[in-house]
Structure 1
Amino acid sequence: MSNKPLKIVFAGTPDFACPSLTALVRDTDLSIKLVITQPDKPSGRGLEFTKPAIKVLAEKINLPLTQPEKINQLKARLLEIKPDVIVAVAYSQLIPEDLLAIPRLGWINVHASLLPRYRGAGVIQAPILNNDQESGVTIMLMAKGLDTGPILAQSRVTLSLNETAGSLSESLSQLGGSLLLKTLKAYVAGDIKPREQEHTQSTYVGLIKKQNALIDWNKPAKTIEKLVRAMSPWPTAWTWLNGRQLKITAAEPKTLPINTYKVGKTFLYNNMLAVQCGEDSLLINRLKLESKNEVTAKAFINGHQDLIGQILG
């Protein structure tokens, strides 16, 4: 690195991006000239406007901040800044080609999968749903197209049997922050040569929506158990109970070799709540009925004695 700090623009939105911005801010060889994030959006029952996590962090450490509806509105400002590098982490907008060409050293992206596997949006949930043994982070140069750019570095993590989307996101966000800083410095020094992805090996995953978390009890218990973990903490796996939404927030990783009940029927197994699936049965640990608080399965049964024997879905 030269004696002159590298001029950085950072684009990111959710909690996942915060460790990356924090890592860049702490390095005195770098100068954050601008933070770009999504506009505040209404959320919750009251639809109150909520600040993105990156906005909260940027305001806390007094970084210059902007929230355009579309990033192409910033072209003139980016040309004025003349950044050496623009770093994007979970920013949630495709970058136009004319903006990709602005920074001297390009755009660098922190992507939460081992590319070319899992390009797209739902990359945290995908390895859990597909029973992968590992996931990881890719640091890449951005190019035209969705997650198609050359790879600068990758780092892997092993998935635990209890891995949820929440726990994996936290692990990968921390890993991404440390790997980003190390990779950025090596790339600027000329110590890393970008390598093209094996595009023929690429897979894509779409944006996770609430409907993706609806449980189909006809599927095997092992498949549903993975869905519960992959949809935690959001949007949370759910089913129907007497016309009300019932969220399954946690289940036992080990399924039961029981196939004697009607699909979707609840029953007790060693005083634990179980549900018959299309193959084997699933033990439920925690649930949340519509408009109620999350509770243990035992507490739920105590308050809903008529639950046992009902058909979910």
Structure 2
Amino acid sequence: MRVVFAGTPEFARAALERLAAAGFTLPLVLTQPDRPAGRGMKLQPSPVKQFALEHGIAVAQPRSLRLDGKYPDDAAAARAALVAAKADVMVVAAYGLILPQWVLDLPRLGCLNIHASLLPRWRGAAPIHRAIEAGDRETGVTIMQMDAGLDTGDMLLMERVAIAPDDTTATLHDKLAALGGRMVVEALELAACGGLRPQRQPAEGVTYAHKIEKVEAAIDWSQPGEVLARRIRAFDPFPGASAQVNGETVKLWRAQAVPGRGTAAAGTIVAIDDHGVGVACGDGSRLEITELQRAGGKRLPAADFLRGFPLAAGMRFEA
């Protein structure tokens, strides 16, 4: 089976690695254009491009696939490359570009998407973050037959994964990336023998995982402690939850909610020791913060952080 792959970040690279290891022919990879990154802001290839180049796979990086869009020359070149690839199927994982109908129709078996949620819950750009933020007990991976809608296509395979109480987006991402790679190989093996059984997505239970914005990083201390603890885990590693204290922005990386009926104003430091910094929340609980980071510094356990950034009970965190 000839498989064209479209993807960009580490989540997608995990799937591409599994496809290569399984022996599928990979005539072409589509990925986002190189982006500036690092202190020098030099152009960096995506993780998917890095893997493709290391394994001699042809790469195309169109800025758009719309033949009537802003970059018609990019789209036309990509179309020529896709036609030449003679793919039986396209596998898509966190690619970042909308696939127009001509792309969906080109491969004999269409386009299969690896989506990191239990569809129809958390359609959209940030399903892992939003599942943790919402307090979901479980998530998973859905292999979906793509159509013109936003993650609305028929479901082909689905597997569930429990969300652990200490899971962050980083840890859950790695679990789901590995699962997605295994599942898409299974889906292609079934497709080769006509064994896939598409199922329509239920009309009930649809939610949208909107893209994470940097402005969401600021902690609103009027919210319950449990909500804030989930948000801190959901925003690890990006964008990182943050708050202002002593005139500086501090990133909050690990925290847990401690139930209570405190009366201190939300954001007030009510307890502090080497184990953590306790901050009053809007519902009377407190947030026990155990890992912090000041601007330009490293993520540190509370005891190490406090040696370089003294805090005291009665001081106030702001959003």
Aligned residues: CA RMSD: 1.5
Tell me how far 1:260 sits from its aligned partner.
Answer: 2.8
Equivalent runs, 1:188-199 vs 2, <5 Å: 188-199=192-203
Deviation beyond 4 Å, 4+ runs, structure 1: none
Pair 55,261 (structure 1): closer, same or farther in 2 beyond 3 Å:
same
Decide which of 92, 105, 108 is 1:101's aligned counterpart. 105
Normalising to structure 2: TM-score of the pair? Answer: 0.92
Paired position in structure 2 for 1:129: 133
Q: Does structure 2 conserve the Cα–Cα contact (< 8 Å) formed by 1:187 and 1:193?
A: no
Return the letter of the residue paired with 1:113.
S
Decide which of 8, 27, 49 is 2:3's aligned counterpart. 8
Q: Does structure 1 conserve the Cα–Cα contact (< 8 Å) formed by 2:273 and 2:303?
A: no
Give distance in 2, aligned partners of 1:44 and 1:244.
23
Return the letter of the residue paired with 1:46.
G
Pair 161,262 (structure 1): closer, same or farther in 2 beyond 3 Å:
same
Normalising to structure 1: TM-score of the pair? Answer: 0.94
Q: For 1:207, what is the secondary structure of its paired residue?
A: coil
Q: Is 1:312 matched with 2:317?
A: yes
Q: Does structure 1 conserve the Cα–Cα contact (< 8 Å) formed by 2:233 and 2:254?
A: yes
Paired position in structure 1 for 2:13: 18
Decide which of 24, 32, 46 is 2:26's aligned counterpart. 32
Pair 201,294 (structure 1): closer, same or farther in 2 beyond 3 Å:
closer
Equivalent runs, 1:207-218 vs 2, <5 Å: 207-218=211-222
Tell me how far 1:48 sits from its aligned partner.
Answer: 1.9
Q: Is 1:255 matched with 2:246?
A: no
Return the letter of the residue paired with 2:65.
I
Q: For 1:259, what is the secondary structure of its paired residue?
A: coil
Q: Is 1:265 matched with 2:268?
A: yes
Tell me how far 1:306 sits from its aligned partner.
Answer: 4.3
Paired position in structure 1 for 2:306: 301
Give distance in 2, aligned partners of 1:81 and 1:201.
38
Q: Does structure 1 conserve the Cα–Cα contact (< 8 Å) formed by 2:272 and 2:312?
A: no
Paired position in structure 2 for 1:151: 155
Q: For 1:288, what is the secondary structure of its paired residue?
A: strand
Paired position in structure 1 for 2:70: none
Deviations, residues 46-87 of structure 1 (Å, cap 9, x unaligned)? 322222111111111121112111134111221222211011
Q: Does structure 1 conserve the Cα–Cα contact (< 8 Å) formed by 2:272 and 2:313?
A: no
Tell me how far 1:261 sits from its aligned partner.
Answer: 1.5
Aligned residue pair count = 306
Q: Is 1:61 matched with 2:52?
A: no
Percent identity of paired positions between Structure 1 and Structure 2: 35
Paired position in structure 2 for 1:3: none
Q: Does structure 1 conserve the Cα–Cα contact (< 8 Å) formed by 2:31 and 2:61?
A: yes
Decide which of 199, 206, 229 is 2:210's aligned counterpart. 206
